[in-house]
């Protein structure tokens, strides 16, 4: 090979060797920009994890609230079912009374119709 070769080893660099200042400035600029880029990437990743953590905490809070609400609903439903069961005999009595009232009403209508026929018959007999 002819000409200088680039070595990947860092041991070949000597601090006191003359070097190109423009290349040095460009390298410094590149390292600064790469550093800024990596810092930005890491910072954005860190912020995303913070956001996820906040969202997870909010979700946990919401699910805990929903769990309490569901437990209260379940408790209230159990109490309502117990009350409904305790009222069932009274509801059956009300149904029986309603049936009896309907029968009495029918009997009253029949009695009223019968009494009107009797009255009409009585008036017709009275006129004779």
Provide mean pLDDT across the span 29-52: 94
Evaluate if residue 93 carries a pLDDT over 60.
yes
Evaluate if residue 111 carries a pLDDT over 80.
yes
Average pLDDT, whole number, for the chain?
88
Provide mean pLDDT across the span 64-86: 97
Rounded-to-integer distance, Cα 91 and Cα 110, Å: 29
| pLDDT at residue number 110 | 96
| pLDDT at residue number 2 | 52
Evaluate if residue 14 carries a pLDDT over 70.
no
Evaluate if residue 11 carries a pLDDT over 80.
no
| pLDDT at residue number 1 | 47
| pLDDT at residue number 45 | 92
What share of the chain in percent tops pLDDT 70? 86
> 51-61 as b/e, with b when 16 or more CB fall inside 10 Å?
eeeeeeeeeee
What share of the chain in percent tops pLDDT 90? 73
Evaluate if residue 103 carries a pLDDT over 90.
yes
| pLDDT at residue number 87 | 94
């Amino acid at each position: 090979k002819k000409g200088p070769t680039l070595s990947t080893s860092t041991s070949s660099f000597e601090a006191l060797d003359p070097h190109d200042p423009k290349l040095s400035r460009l390298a410094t600029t590149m390292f600064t920009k790469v550093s800024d880029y990596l810092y930005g990437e890491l910072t954005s990743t860190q912020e995303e994890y913070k956001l996820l953590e906040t969202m997870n905490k909010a979700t946990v809070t919401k699910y805990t609230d929903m769990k309490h609400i569901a437990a209260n609903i379940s408790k209230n439903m159990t109490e309502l079912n117990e009350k409904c069961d305790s009222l069932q005999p009274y509801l059956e009595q009300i149904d029986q009374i309603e049936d009896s009232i309907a029968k009495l009403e029918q009997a009253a209508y029949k009695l009223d119709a019968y009494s009107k026929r009797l009255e009409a018959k009585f008036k017709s007999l009275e006129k004779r």
